[in-house]
């Protein structure tokens, strides 16, 4: 979210400096599975519009997958019906009910952006630098530090907003993943029960098949749980038996920055400086990134001529 917003602002002619505590390789975004879908994000009406704007960008980027990390890949959203989705779903090209051959249950077939996040994040950073922006590793303990150095501050701190704003409505939703050697699976699948912390999904990425997952609310642990990892592999192998016995390449954990609703708003600070908040995207950050970035840029206002 931070890099995308920075790119939009820089390409709009603004001088942009990004302050980040961690390098992109150690962020939650680098851990994410990378499938476009408005997952666990509110408000739904706005999230749908943000998602569709982002979808259009990813479709273009998918023409250069080696460079951008973005591909258009077929798969099935299990336990999902069109009638259960918002108006945005009608504008997703080709989204339809899955056939019995495609999924043994109720689901939706789609061809969606699937993003290799480490590659994509590096590409975003390079695009920002090419537009004249800079990225600095810096710990910020108060938003006033940034406001003292810039007339406009955009707060894309994710889970960090809980302490930095402070905003106690921001909470972690822990996700654990297992990466295995891909036994030849070329499509993705998700099966999510929103009443449970456990889900089943797999996503073929160039570096391996990503298996998930979990959604443990208010869990701050970044240490992979071996028992949870074993359960994830079993759930995925129940859908695609060839996953059983696949060599494990990596274990990953990320903390989704969840909130009851995204906070995307402008605040005028004492002295007239501007603070734009853009956080609380949960597990849908990459899905809504470009839509939210453009809206944040509109809240910032036009660049000085």
Q: The domain that contains 266 carries what CATH number?
A: 3.40.50.720
Indicate whether 243 and 119 sit together in one domain.
Answer: no
Q: Which residues are annotated as a binding site for D-serine?
A: 283
Query: What is the band of 304 on the pLDDT scale with cuts at 50, 70, 90?
Result: low
Q: Which residues are annotated as a binding site?
A: 28-29, 140, 157, 201, 256, 282-287
Indicate whether 8 and 67 sit together in one domain.
Answer: yes
Q: Is the pLDDT of residue 40 over 70?
A: yes
Indicate whether 40 and 149 sit together in one domain.
Answer: yes
Indicate whether 183 and 244 sit together in one domain.
Answer: yes
Are 244 and 255 in contact by the 8 Å Cβ rule? The answer is no
Q: Which residues are annotated as a binding site for FAD?
A: 28-29, 140, 157, 282-287
- Is residue 96 assigned to a domain? no
Q: Which of 19, 262, 2 is nearest to 143 (CA)?
A: 19
Residue 233: which domain range? 171-258
Mean pLDDT estimate for the chain = 96
CATH number at residue 233: 3.30.9.10
- Is residue 229 assigned to a domain? yes
Q: Is the pLDDT of residue 211 over 80?
A: yes
Per-residue buried b or exposed e for 44-71, using 16+ beta carbons within 10 Å of the residue's own CB: eebbbbbbbbbbebbbebbeebeebbbb
How do beta strands 96-97 and 107-115 pair? antiparallel
Q: How many domains does the chain have?
A: 2
Q: Which residues are annotated as a binding site for D-dopa?
A: 201, 256
pLDDT digits over 236-275, tens only? Answer: 999 999 999 999 999 999 999 999 999 999 999 989 999 9
Sequence-separated contacts (24+) of 14-19 with Cβ below 8 Å: 14/300, 14/303, 15/132, 15/133, 16/128, 16/131, 16/132, 16/133, 16/134, 17/133, 17/134, 17/136, 17/150, 18/128, 18/133, 18/134, 18/135, 18/136, 19/136, 19/138, 19/140, 19/146
pLDDT digits over 42-96, tens only? Answer: 999 999 999 999 999 999 999 999 999 999 999 999 999 999 999 999 999 999 9
Query: What is the band of 193 on the pLDDT scale with cuts at 50, 70, 90?
Result: confident
Stretch (H or E) spanning 122: helix 117-130
Query: What is the band of 195 on the pLDDT scale with cuts at 50, 70, 90?
Result: confident
- Is residue 250 assigned to a domain? yes
Q: Is the pLDDT of residue 305 over 60?
A: no
Paired tokens of 165: 């704003």
Indicate whether 301 and 202 sit together in one domain.
Answer: no
- Is residue 199 assigned to a domain? yes
Indicate whether 284 and 209 sit together in one domain.
Answer: no
Indicate whether 5 and 117 sit together in one domain.
Answer: yes
């Amino acid at each position: 979210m931070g890099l995308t917003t920075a790119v939009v602002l820089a390409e709009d002619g603004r001088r942009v400096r990004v302050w980040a505590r961690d390098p992109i390789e150690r962020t939650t975004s680098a851990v994410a599975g990378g499938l476009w879908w408005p997952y666990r994000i509110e408000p739904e009406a706005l999230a749908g519009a943000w998602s569709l704007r982002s979808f259009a960008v990813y479709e273009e980027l998918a023409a250069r997958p080696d460079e951008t990390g973005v591909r258009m890949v077929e798969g099935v959203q299990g336990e999902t019906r069109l009638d259960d989705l918002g108006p945005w779903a009608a504008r997703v090209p080709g989204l339809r009910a899955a056939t019995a051959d495609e999924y043994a249950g109720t689901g939706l077939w789609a061809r969606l952006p699937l993003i290799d996040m480490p590659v994509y994040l590096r590409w975003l950073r390079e695009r920002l630098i090419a537009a004249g922006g800079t990225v600095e590793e810096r710990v910020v303990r108060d938003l006033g530090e940034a406001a003292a150095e810039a007339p406009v501050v955009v707060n894309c701190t994710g889970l960090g907003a809980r302490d930095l704003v402070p905003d106690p409505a921001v909470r972690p939703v822990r996700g654990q993943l297992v990466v295995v050697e891909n036994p030849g699976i070329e499509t993705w699948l998700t099966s999510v029960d929103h009443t449970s912390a456990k889900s089943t999904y797999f996503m073929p990425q160039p570096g391996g098949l990503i298996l998930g997952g979990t959604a443990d609310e208010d869990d701050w642990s970044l240490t992979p749980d071996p028992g949870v990892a074993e359960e994830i592999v079993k759930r995925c192998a129940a859908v695609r038996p060839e996953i059983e016995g696949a060599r494990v390449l990596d274990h990953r954990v990320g903390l989704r920055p969840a909130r009851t609703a995204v906070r995307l708003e402008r605040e005028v600070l004492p002295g007239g400086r501007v603070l734009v908040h853009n956080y609380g995207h949960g597990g849908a950050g990459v899905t809504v990134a470009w839509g939210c970035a453009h809206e944040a840029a509109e809240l910032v206002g036009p660049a000085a001529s």
